[in-house]
Structure 1
Amino acid sequence: MSGLVLDSGLSQQRSWRLPPIGALLALGFLLAVLLAALAPQLFTRLDPLAITPREAFQAPSLAHWLGTDQSGRDIYARIVHGARQSLAIGIAATALAFTLAIFLGLLAGLGGRRLDQLISGVLEVLFAFPSLVLALLFVAVFGSGVGPLIVATGLGAAPGYARLVRGQVLAVRQAGYLEAARALGHSPLRIITRQLLPNAMRPLVVTVTMGVGQAIVWASALSFLGLGARPPAPEWGTMLSMGRDFIANAWWLTFFPGLFIVLTTLSTTVAGRYLQRRLEGRHE
């Protein structure tokens, strides 16, 4: 009896163990980015669009922590306010991609052999192209701007997600608990929404978490090419694009926006890996 109590106490202690320092730093950084997106006034009172020509191209200092750009705008304020647009683009594009992936994956996994072959063939053709190239193609069709940028990034990422969803649906659809639900007379819609989807999607939570960071990178790349948010919007990719002409003399114009893009992507990856270990029951 005492052995059981001891084992229970040890397992409870392991379950309450703090995340490793890397995961804590990643989660802390993502929390700060989220707060900046929701309430930028908590971090700065400066207007990210305020132009002060006499303060143009000031290097990082106590007055301007990350320097100023060619129009005298404060880089720190622009990065803080840009978190909202960059994070919103990443989340919206990932949500769009995963919604399309669920629809196509369910059709391919449950729609019969011919429909599966048709959808799988289309996905294979799309997957043969790099996702960023697909996003560039969609931007060329829909035009530039934040809305088309979200659609283009989401459509570019959808084929990869759809393949994963299809594989999970095929792996889960013959499970015993689904057969039991059919035997109990549950409707197909209820079986899909209550049994199949939750169990098929659980392993993909990690992929979606890391996909937000990847979507931010793709959206920033498109904005850098002038196909995303239009200047002087404080979007991180647009800031990179605006500062590239002055990189030789004002390195901070591109360094700090690029740094925050990298840190956000790295943090989503680390947080996703930690979440994966937790879902798999590994607490180390």
Structure 2
Amino acid sequence: VFQVGAEESAVTGVAAAEPSALLSALLSAKCDYDVQVTVLQGTAMLQVAGGELQMLPAGVQAEWQVVDGGETSGFRQIPSTPATIPVWMLAPETEPVPEAASVRTQLTKSLEAGGDPREAILPLVADRNPEVGLLATEVLVLTRSVDSLLNLFFEDLDEVVQRRIIDGLQAIAGSSETARELIRESLSTRLPMAEAININSLLNGVNAVRAAEPETAQQLLAYLGDERLGVRTLAIYRLEQITGDRQNFYPAADASRRRDAIRRWQKWLDRQGGVLVKPVE
């Protein structure tokens, strides 16, 4: 799967048999973007923009930029150690347990079915096995599937899957201004404007300055009582990140238990002077 600039191009099932088809699909994107090609095993033959055919051995990474609809610049080759290769590209060091192997097989079969990989992946996100949901979510994050991720954010899913969706949206938003605008616009079609702004802000994370503001604390506590599971998960996730505690609040618990946990949060917040963290002097 390649991610390309502000647009996205998901190409599966062709890398092993037809590397040229993969590169052709990548280089046909109608936007400026950076390209990185890393050889993990064996060798690869690479030709960029009519230049000379080059052989890349294992352990080498080629990088270049594509601008103005096809012009290339900044081509270079550099050593690529395992530390510089994304973890998801590396094979596991040990054999996966049978359950994990079954999950990967299920995911591979869905992708091999053809068509848009996101369409094949979506049904797996809600699988009763959270491991399946996590792997499927990874594909949606890697393909920058903002609409799919936001749709899933508002569905009733396992908390660990919801947290990965939140992490994925935060990572996508942090990748570029174009991505942040896309998420803002997508939220604005789902929520009233004021609420879309609040949810978008929380998806982007809470920095130290905001964490010390009373308004942030009250907003997060209010969202603990929201009727939507995804919003409750977002609120407790941010509270736990800021304070290191969840006051025994679980977003999928029944309403009475959630109310009890919210009261514990309010008492704790009162003892803190109404803020989650003390302002930095």
TM-score bucket (shorter structure): under 0.3
TM-score w.r.t. structure 1 length?
0.24
The structure with the largest helix share of the pair is 1
Larger Rg computed on CA atoms = 1
TM-score w.r.t. structure 2 length?
0.24
Greater RCO between the two (CA within 8 Å, min separation 6)? Answer: 1
